[in-house]
Structure 1
Amino acid sequence: MSTGTESLGDAPLPAGGAAQTMPAAQVHVALGTSPHGLTEAEAAARRERYGPNRLPRAARRGSWRLLTAQFTGLFAVVLVVASAVTFLAHVLQDPPREGTLQLAVAILCVVVLNAAIGFAQEYSAERTAETLRAMVPHTSRVLRGGERREVSADELVPGDVVVLEAGDAVPADCRLVEAHEVSVDNAPLTGESTPVRRTADAVAPGPPLEARNRVFMGTDVVTGTAKAVVCATGSATEFGRIFRLASAAPRQRTPLQRQVASMARRVAGTALAVGAALFAVRLPAGQDPVAGFVFALGVMVALVPEGLPATLSVSLAIGVRRMARRHALVKKPLAVEALGATTVICTDKTGTLTRAEMTVTRVWAGGRTHPVSGVGYEPAGEVDDPAAVRPLLRAAAMCCDARLLPPAEHQGWRILGDTTEGALLVAAAKAGIDPAAEEAAAPRVAEHPFDPARKLMSTVHRASGASGGVDRPPYTAFVKGAPHEVLARCEAVDWRGDRRELTPKVRTAVTAAHDEMASRGLRVLGVAHRRLPDGPRPGREETESGLTLLGLAGMLDPPRPEVSDAVEACRRAGVRIVMVTGDHPLTAEAVARRVGIVRGPEPAVVTGACLEPMDDRALDALLAQGRELLLCRVAPEHKARIVAAFQRRGEVVAVTGDGANDAPALKHADIGVAMGASGTDVAREAAVMVLLDDSFASIAAAVGLGRSVYQNIRRFLVYVFSSNIGELGPILAATAAGFPLVPISAVQVLAIDLGTDVMPALALGAEPPEPDVMDRPPRPRRERLFSAAVVGRVLFLGGIQTVCVSAVFLWQVGSSGIPYADFTEDTPVYREAVTMVHAGIVLSQFFIALSVRTDRRSALRPAVLTSNPWLLGAGLLAVAAMVAISYVPLLRGLFNTAPLEPADWALLTGLGALPLLADEARKAWLRRRRPARGGEPQHRGPRREGGAR
């Protein structure tokens, strides 16, 4: 059998697009099939030619590549080279020194530890690609050789004839050849919140998604039955096109990734430069080159924060767990901090800001408006004066094809069919109407489906036991649709059971009621009925003329109740919210006003058709206006382009979405946020964060947690680098004094960086968010992790620590009376001095950890001291570890230390507290100089690149 088509390749079959302009009878020939479907042999041949009907698997990095990547970071490379060179130095030493070998092994262990932690986190993040295939239904009903069969959706090929019913997921891109009251939910592809009617008739040439006789993979049949011929499968579908867009988009590095990489380069460069300089200074003094190199290497180790990668990873993991408790699942830990830097949120509407459940909220009947309470599909609520609106709601419920389903299997109340009709059924139930009982009493005998041309739907019902006559007409017609179309066909109005003539005055009142509802952003339907005379079953024209208006029903997709507060929190935090939706502009603006995204009288409302001809300069100018912005009727390419335009302006962009059409923008964004409950698997795969409760409020909470994570990272950076200053300072002081040995060995430095410093640093990463974290503007995108304030505080605290421990060391070795040249590593005084330096740094770091928890408030206030018990516990454990290093013989031999006297511990404790006391004095001076409202600092970050809003 000839297919009549060309090779599939990466695009839909050419005949698929052409077939939309053909009559249904010609479609089978155009696609190389017949009304009986393909034979098994032909289907097998096409499957061999076109491949399976599934999306290609997303590329995943293998385990070995993930593991190898952990050793290519700058910190890891520097440490690996240092370990290798230290091994070489151990070999060249005569005789070889055990301490050099210990140093080489210790540095290598640092690299392995950091790599293990990084690999564990990245490996879990990579295991998400397989969820893509879940969007394609597992089985489909097809005609093969005239017989209906159920086959795996993977086995579908172009030319297959598939049978579709309400509730089915469409398995491939198809051209309808038979359609009976079919409507399809295209939201996963287009973002439209309401189902669209489909037809088997030919349509004019145009974009595939606008063809009313086409259905697409990943969408759902809401009502009706149909037969359709498969036009495209797998990656050649419209769904596959969006998948390719998402796959081609590079994953953006987060601001923290960029800043940590920059910090690593600076720290590594500084360590190499200082180490080389000290090696060059000591070499002319006649020191053995190998010994001089080991000394320089110790300096480098003191400068490089070996424990920082592990501490950073674990601190981000703490943020991930906190977000999980707020129903936000983060797939990549670095995304936690990125949220804190967010300046723009591009949010979808349906299902994100709203509940995706149409609800009747107002009914106009009998000359006045009747409010309806309750939201969603649960029939819980009340109708004001139900007797007055019951005829209207009964007629609307009778003129519906949807069904209201009660809770079952962990699902709540839901609708099978059109959501607009579902809203009418729920409103009828609230008024005490049982649609099933009414249908049984007056069974439907005819139906005239909704048609976009006439914008009406009507049904004809015969009363049970009707016998004709004036008092009991055998037929009743119920009509619902666009108010102006219904009103044009009415000649009377039902005024509380009294049939009145539809005078111009009444028409004006109806129009005013409609306009008032529309101004509230409601979708308004007109409802009417007609008593039909006895005789032959009436046709459509007779059914839909001479009507009696029952009234109007206004409905909306209600915003989530928590969204308004979340939007207000984002406004206070200086985060701009832009709605990006596939819905109609009026609907989008109405929802945006309800939730607070739009407050001004004239927001900028831009459609996809307006975006299309805009060049980048015009788009940049639009975004630079800073006006409240709504982007409506946009395609996936438009949404991704908007994200890129914001990023060009220096914004950190978060994008929310739930449909496959959102996937490219989710991946382009700095932080993609997908909906977990209602979202598609493609959206969840493209995003780095998934909201398990689909609540926009969780985004606002996540932004606050992200900001808190960033502040905590800065806290433990001050803590860690002040320790590095304290380690380096005594070495420089001893070198300047001409002392031949180091005041603290490289092994001791590693013990501090990876042992006693790590636990308090992790505890600092668990600091709770500050109360005013969402009352500050976002930090600038280009603000460095090591800002001037951070560097100044590191030098301030580290400098005090350096002076204290250097003075202790020089006093200890100087007061011994032993000439510097006679000191060796086994000299008892030297071992005591080294131990005091080691213990002095550990004790100082305990007090510094307490100090860096606040920027302006006193860290000694009881409320502050007790708010993080983990920090107190971690600090005491670090001190206990130092005591063990001083007194346990095995550890004394490993670290070349000596037992200290109680007087030594008292002296070191007093000196260790000096950084805390000095920082308390600095904070008190800041509070007196610039009083802050609310206690903590009033953040006034610099203007963002690209202008402030």
Structure 2
Amino acid sequence: MTQLLTPGGGSRKPAAAAGVVGPPVQAVPPGDVFAALDTSPRGLTAADVVARRARYGLNELPRAGRRGWWRQLAAQFTDLFAIVLLVASAITFLVHDLQQPRDPGTFRLAVAILAVVVLNAAIGFAQEYSAERTAQSLQAMVPHTCRVLRDGERRELPVRELVPGDVVVLAAGDAVPADCRLVEAHDVSVNNAALTGESDAIGSTADAVATGPLLEARNCVFMGTDAVAGAGKAVVFATGAATEFGRIFRLAAAAPRQKTPLQRQVASMARRVAGVALAIGAALFAVRVPTGQPFVETFVFALGVMVALVPEGLPATLSVSLAIGVRRMARRHALVKQLLAVEALGSTTVVCTDKTGTLTQAEMTVAQVWAGGALHPVSGVGYAPVGEVVDPAPVRELLRAAALCCNARLVPPSGRGGWRVLGDTTEGALLVAAAKAGIDVAAEEARAPRVAEYPFDSIRKLMSTVHRAADGDTHRAYVKGAPQEILARCTDIDWNGERRPLTDELRAEAIATNDQLASQGLRVLAAAWRPVTGPRTAQDETESGLTLLGLVGMLDPPRPEVSDAVDACRHAGVRIVMVTGDHPLTAEAVARRVGIVRQTAPTVVTGARLDTMDDEALDGLLAKPSELLLCRVSPEHKMRVVTALRRRGEVVAVTGDGANDAPALKHADIGVAMGASGTDVAREAATMVLLDDSFASIATAVRLGRSVYQNIRKFLVYLFSHNIAELVPILAATFAGFPLVPITAVQILAIDLGSDVLPALALGAEPPEPDVMDRPPRSRRQPLFSAGVMGRVLFLGGIQALGVCVVFFWHIHASGIPYSHFTEDDTVYREAITMVQAGIVVSQFFNALAVRTDRQSVFRIGLLSNPWLLAAGCFGIGLMAAISYLPALQAVFHTAPLAASDWAVLAAFGVLLLAAEETRKWWVRRHRPVGGKGLGGGREGER
């Protein structure tokens, strides 16, 4: 290459400038760009392409470093609960090897514990692998093909085959395939929302511009953006990861994935349970060894205590319950990529939401038209020409002129897509408004064909077109643009068909109307006309001495479901902060429409002001309870705000669809990307993808996330309460001097896996409680085992433990046999341990009914309202009956058949447990208001 370019004054080297410094790409005159990039107006030759592809690679973003499937599977075995169970299984295998003779039951126990770990890992791996594959299928941001000049021929090639130096042909509606320098630009406008968050299209030029930030260079276009108007040619100077799009991708990839609150709490719970199990097992081992008990038998006894304390079924139950939540969200068009993230939105305290495409439809719509001193409302939203202009006659000439002064085109519905605009969305809105006023734009263009055009640019803020009248001898110029620029060039005004001088009073009225519409959050354009002598009239003459036709106010309408979603989040105590690259006035107007802003004076902060704040000042700003809008912000600003919020202890969710949102999505507790309109980079960084792009899915996800957490606490109470019933009889037998255990490790595992898991899963499928969105978010520091949860575990577990201890010692004492005479093969002992196991299983059935609600009576919601729970309970009792009566299972579990009277006694204890819990709930409802603390009540996170 002869010379290579650097963008933005050399701050970053593009792919085509590896190690070579040249003038800033935007500062080079268009005629010199080809030589500077070692190409030509005919494009690259085949040999050039081969050499450059070997040097710079394919034009694609690198896939994030995904672990292989085997690494993903192996990671499922590294959480602490899995490690505890693996250790327990290893110890059991060791005990089996030490036993003389070896007990087949011990071997089966070791295998069963290992099977639990494998089952849990398989469930977690299958869910996450499936979600990841689905997420990969959504990658559709970078266009698939583009038009390129090579060897002087125009070809359509896959985007990934572009190399630096290629000459790309752009037209309205094209997605820009790489970072390019324009060398020809005919009325080109580009929407940079995916990179900057700015919803307005930017007029582009091929002329050299002053050195400055590359993204502000109007003669450069960037990968992932869209050409919305005009046509042109551009030379590629950066591809793949070297593009601005790739820079943000790398910024997002460098951010570590944040752990969800549930991940942290489950890890903490696992550490505590493991510690308690090991400590109690070791203590009992140390107590029994000096008494002369055989070493191996004492070790097996201690292992039984550990098994009783470790809920083997919890990891699988947790994974499957989360998977149920994932499927529920998927039915509501929310794809969750990680199981544990399904609960994270339930604990969210702050949602940082983008504006364009997330709260709004990204479809400009004319809402008001002013002409002749009167406002004319326009109904309908979007690009479908459905709606009407109130009293259209006085504004028909205004809308006709505005429509003729447009380059956009309306495209009718095709296939599954609706009406869309090919070109600038603002011009599309004008075409729709003209159609609503009964104007046939195509017919008007035929009657008054365009013969000249002066494109829009950001300096003049105007666009002008010249049209030949129907008589063929006269010409008219139509001008549209910023009201202040139009008014400065007007000398007359069209007042209900009459041409009047634009007096100071009429000018003041037009300005006041512009301010009124702008205060409503409308983007205002003015339209004017004048007769001209011919198609070659000079631009200055064409755009002076104008006659004002009127004003048009338009907006990017909010999604219709957003207001209800925002209201639901408010009731749930979730703070919503708008974070956008758009103008503060536009952002505030949209925020008011959807309900994010209700106060008279919200706090509006721009990115420039954020740059002047240190961390202490930013923390102070975020700590204020006022409604907050962050506007004109960069990706770095978003990351800084998210970091500051998390530093304050907030659980932060970030929504977004553009590449500029990706770093914040990655840094947040949970990132929520748009699946249909979102960028590949945003979806890659997010934890959850909204397949329908609907903000309403956020409120639904919060509700389902809270429900998942509630259900997790329900089955935690259910599982750990009967763990107490398994442990207490063992401890009681030890201190009472009974030489054998009241329940064996194999029986405990049968309970934990056979009759625990299905009811726990049924509890995990409980629908959200009616008031779930009326409670405040739980504290990030609130432990999974709160005081309320532990109180309920001890209350229900204590009743179960008392019942099984009574039936065990009652049966032992009723036999009249001294403790020292009992052996493992004694019939009375086998009947007693069978009653203990059956007592726990029966009480589980009633316990599952009891924990379905925190405060409300289970009879109020209906005993039969969760048929899966009843079926699961009956399955557990049926399995217990099989263990008691079938000889093959009797041999495995050392059980004996129970009499009908035994089952009646056990059922009576179960009814007693349910009655006690219903009494407790009644007392809580009567003496503690909602939100008060109690065994089952309390503020969110304690109930």
Q: Which TM-score tier does this pair reach, normalised by the shorter chain?
A: over 0.9
For the residues of structure 2 that align with 1:154 and 1:671, how far apart are their CA atoms? 31
Amino acid at match of 2:523: R
| 1:349 partner letter | K
Q: 2:214 aligns with which of 205, 208, 233?
A: 208
CA distance in 2, matches of 1:478, 1:825: 102
Unmatched 5+ stretches in structure 1: 469-473, 944-949
- Partner residue in 2 for 1:169: 175
- How far apart are 1:15 and its partner, in Å? 5.8
Q: Distance in 2 between matches of 1:502 and 1:264?
A: 78
After the TM superposition, which residues 857-896 of structure 1 pair with which residues of structure 2 at under 5 Å, given as runs? 857-861=856-860, 863-896=861-894
Contact kept, 8 Å, 1:172 with 1:233, in 2: the verdict is yes
Please, which moves more after superposition, 931-940 or 28-37? 931-940
- The residue that corresponds to 2:55 in the other structure is 49
Q: Which residue of 1 aligns with 2:269?
A: 263
> 2:335 maps to which residue?
329
**1:173 partner letter:** D
Q: Deviations over 1:499-551 (max 9, x none)?
A: 11111111111111111111111101111111234x56322122212211111
Q: Which residue of 1 aligns with 2:907?
A: 909
CA distance in 2, matches of 1:662, 1:306: 41
The separation in 1 between residues aligned to 2:880 and 2:206, in whole angstroms, is: 81
Give the SS at the match of 1:769.
Answer: coil
Q: Residue 336 of structure 1: CA displacement?
A: 1.6
**Counterpart-to-counterpart distance in 2, 1:546 and 1:5:** 44
Contact in 2 for aligned 1:5/1:32 (Cα 8 Å): no
| Aligned 1:95-134 pairs, distance under 5 A | 95-127=101-133, 130=136, 134=140
Identity %: 73
**Aligned counterparts of 2:239 and 2:536: Cα–Cα separation in 1:** 44
Question: 2:356 is paired with a residue of what secondary structure?
Answer: coil
Matches of 1:192 and 1:231, distance apart in 2: 24
What is the DSSP-based 3-state SS (H/G/I as helix, E as strand, rest coil) of the residue aligned with 1:460? strand
Deviation larger for 14-23 or 192-201 = 14-23
Check whether the contact 2:931–2:940 (CA below 8 A) recurs between aligned residues. no
Alignment of 1:649-660 (within 5 A): 649-660=648-659
- Look up the match of 2:840: 841
- CA distances 1:39-94 after superposition (whole Å, capped 9, x unpaired): 22222222212222111121111122122222222222222222222222222222
Find the aligned partners of 2:937 and 2:463 in 1 and give their Cα distance: 60
- 3-state secondary structure, aligned to 1:824: coil
Q: 1:35 is matched with which residue?
A: 41
The answer to whether the 8 A contact 1:16-1:232 is kept is no
2:373 matched residue in structure 1 = 367
Q: Deviations over 1:358-412 (max 9, x none)?
A: 0000000111101111111111111110111111111111111000111101100
> Is contact 1:10-1:235 (8 Å) kept?
no
Partners in 2 of 1:787 and 1:149 — Cα distance? 66
Q: Could you report, residue by residue, the CA deviation over 1:859-904 in whole angstroms, capped at 9, with x for unpaired residues?
A: 233x332332221222122112211211122222221111111100
In the TM superposition, residue 825 of structure 1 has moved relative to its aligned partner by 1.6
Determine whether 1:152 maps to 2:158.
yes
Q: Tell me the CA shift for residue 96 of structure 1.
A: 1.7
CA contact (8 A) 2:399 2:433 kept: yes
Shift in Å, 1:12: 7.1
Per-residue deviation, 1:713: 0.5
Partner SS for 2:815:
coil
Query: Within 2, Cα distance between the matches of 1:686 and 1:132?
Result: 13
Deviations 1:166-208 (A, max 9, x none): 2222111111111111011111111111211110111111111
Aligned equivalents of 1:229, 1:409: Cα separation in 2? 34
Q: Report the Cα distance in structure 2 between the residues aligned to 1:291 and 1:449, rounded to whole angstroms.
A: 92
Contact 1:15 1:31 in 2 (8 A): no
Q: Could you say what secondary structure the match of 1:281 adopts? A: helix
Following the alignment from structure 1 to structure 2, what is the Cα–Cα distance between the partners of residues 934 and 864? 25
Distance 2:381 2:660 in 1: 27
Instruction: Please list, as runs of the form range in 1=range in 2, the aligned pairs for 1:370-449 lying within 5 A after superposition.
Output: 370-449=376-455
Residues in 1 aligned to 2:122 and 2:637: alpha-carbon distance in whole angstroms: 41
Does the alignment pair 1:926 with 2:932? no
Q: List aligned pairs for 1:657-668, cutoff 5 A.
A: 657-668=656-667
For 1:248-291, what per-residue CA distance to the aligned partner results, in whole angstroms no more than 9, with x for missing partners?
11110000000000000000010001111111111111111001
Show the counterpart of 2:738: 739
How big is each residue's C-alpha offset from its partner over 1:734-783, in whole Å with a ceiling of 9 and x where there is no partner?
Answer: 11111111111111111111110111111111111111111111100010
The Cα shift of 1:136 comes to 2.7
Question: Partner amino acid for 2:497?
Answer: G
1:494 CA drift (Å): 1.1
Please state how far the C-alpha of 1:38 moved relative to its aligned partner.
Answer: 2.5
Give CA-to-partner distance per residue, 1:420-439, whole Å, 9 cap, x none.
00111000000111111110
**Kept in 2: contact 1:759–1:874 (CA 8 A):** yes
Does the 8 A contact of 2:228 with 2:425 survive in 1? Answer: no
Distance 1:322 1:264 in 2: 27
Contact 1:776 1:939 in 2 (8 A): no
Q: Are the equivalent residues in 2 in contact too, given 1:705–1:769 (CA < 8 A)? A: yes
The corresponding residue for 1:947 is: none
Q: TM-score, normalised by structure 2?
A: 0.96
Residue segments in structure 2 that go unaligned for 5+ positions in a row: none
Is 2:597–2:627's contact at 8 Å kept on the other side of the alignment? yes
Q: Which amino acid aligns with 2:146?
A: S
Q: Retained in 1: the 8 A contact 2:186–2:232? A: yes
Worse-superposed segment, 192-201 or 249-258: 192-201
| Aligned twin of 2:510 | 510
Correspondent of 1:72 among 69, 75, 78: 78
**CA gap 1:873/1:16 in 2 versus in 1, 3 angstroms:** farther
Partner of 1:634: 633
Superposition deviation, residue 693 in structure 1: 2.0
Contact 2:5 2:24 in 1 (8 A): no
Q: CA deviation at 1:931?
A: 4.2
- 1:578-601 alpha-carbon deviations (Å, 9 max, x no partner): 000111111001111111111222
The secondary structure found in structure 2 opposite 1:913 is: helix
Query: What amino acid is the match of 1:595?
Result: V
Residue in 2 aligned with 1:341? 347
Across the aligned residues of Structure 1 and Structure 2, the Cα RMSD in angstroms comes to 2.0
SS of 2:24's equivalent in the other structure is helix
Higher mean alpha-carbon deviation, 357-366 vs 456-465, is at 456-465
Q: Using structure 1 for the length normalisation, give the TM-score.
A: 0.96
Aligned pair 1:180/2:186, yes or no? yes
Deviation at 1:464, TM superposition (A): 2.9
- Given the superposition, is the C-alpha separation of residues 78 and 106 from structure 1 closer, same or farther in structure 2, using an over 3 Å criterion? same
Give yes or no for contact 2:478–2:527 (8 Å, CA) kept in 1: yes
Conserved 8 A contact 1:320-1:329: yes
Structure 1 residues 627 and 274 mapped into 2: Cα distance closer, same or farther (>3 Å)?
Answer: same
What residue number does 1:752 align with? 751
Distance 1:722 1:16 in 2: 72
- The 10-residue stretch of structure 1 (601-610 or 843-852) with the greater mean CA deviation from structure 2: 601-610
2:563 and 2:146 map into 1 onto residues whose CA distance is 42
What is the distance in 2 between the residues matched to 1:625 and 1:247? 32
Q: Encode CA deviations 1:554-606: one digit per residue, 9 max, x unaligned.
A: 00001112211211111111111000011111100111111111122222211
Specify the code of the residue in structure 1 equivalent to 2:761: L
Per the alignment, residue 480 of structure 2 pairs with 480
Is the 8 Å Cα contact of residues 86 and 117 (structure 2) preserved in structure 1? yes
2:91 match = 85
Q: Distance in 2 between matches of 1:760 and 1:922?
A: 22
Match of 1:946 in 2: none
- Which whole-Å deviations, capped at 9, do the CAs of 1:638-658 have from their partners, x for residues lacking one? 111111110000000000001
Question: What is the correspondence of 1:407-806 to structure 2 with a 5 Å cutoff?
Answer: 407-466=413-472, 468=473, 474-533=474-533, 537-806=536-805
Number of aligned residue pairs: give it.
Answer: 935
- Give, in whole Å, the separation in 2 of the partners of 1:893 and 1:20: 84
For 1:333, give the aligned amino acid: L
